[in-house]
């Protein structure tokens, strides 16, 4: 048994630190979102940059799908 605490973060995997202004600004710009949207994504998905990216892509897909459903034309009635 080792005395080392288990490290849940994998080395080399980028993490998002919301406590640093420059990191918030850089990550938000990198993902193409506002800092508030980034904060929401980090709180929802965790601080892993990969998980935040996946979360933001999912949100974008869902919004596009909702817009499509909202604006599509109803099918024509059968004659």
Q: Residue 76: inside a domain, yes or no? A: no
| pLDDT, mean of residues 49-75 | 91
Instruction: Read off the pTM.
Output: 0.71
Q: Which domain holds residue 58?
A: 21-71
Query: In this predicted model, what pLDDT tens digit does every residue of 16-53 receive, in sequence order?
Result: 999 999 999 999 999 999 999 999 999 999 999 999 99
Number of folded domains that form the chain = 1
Residue from 26, 7, 8 nearest 16 by CA: 26
Does residue 37 lie in a domain region? yes
- % of the chain residues with pLDDT over 70: 84
Q: Is residue 79 domain-resident? A: no
Contacts of 40 (CB under 8 A, 6+ apart): none
Question: Is 58 within the bounds of a domain?
Answer: yes
């Amino acid at each position: 048994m080792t005395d080392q605490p288990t490290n849940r973060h994998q080395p080399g995997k980028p993490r998002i630190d919301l406590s640093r202004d420059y990191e918030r600004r850089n990550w938000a710009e990198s993902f193409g979102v506002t800092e508030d949207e980034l904060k929401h994504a980090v709180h929802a998905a965790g601080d892993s940059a990969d998980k935040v990216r996946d979360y933001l892509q999912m949100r974008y897909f869902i919004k596009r799908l909702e817009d499509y459903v909202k604006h599509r034309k109803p099918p024509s009635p059968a004659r």
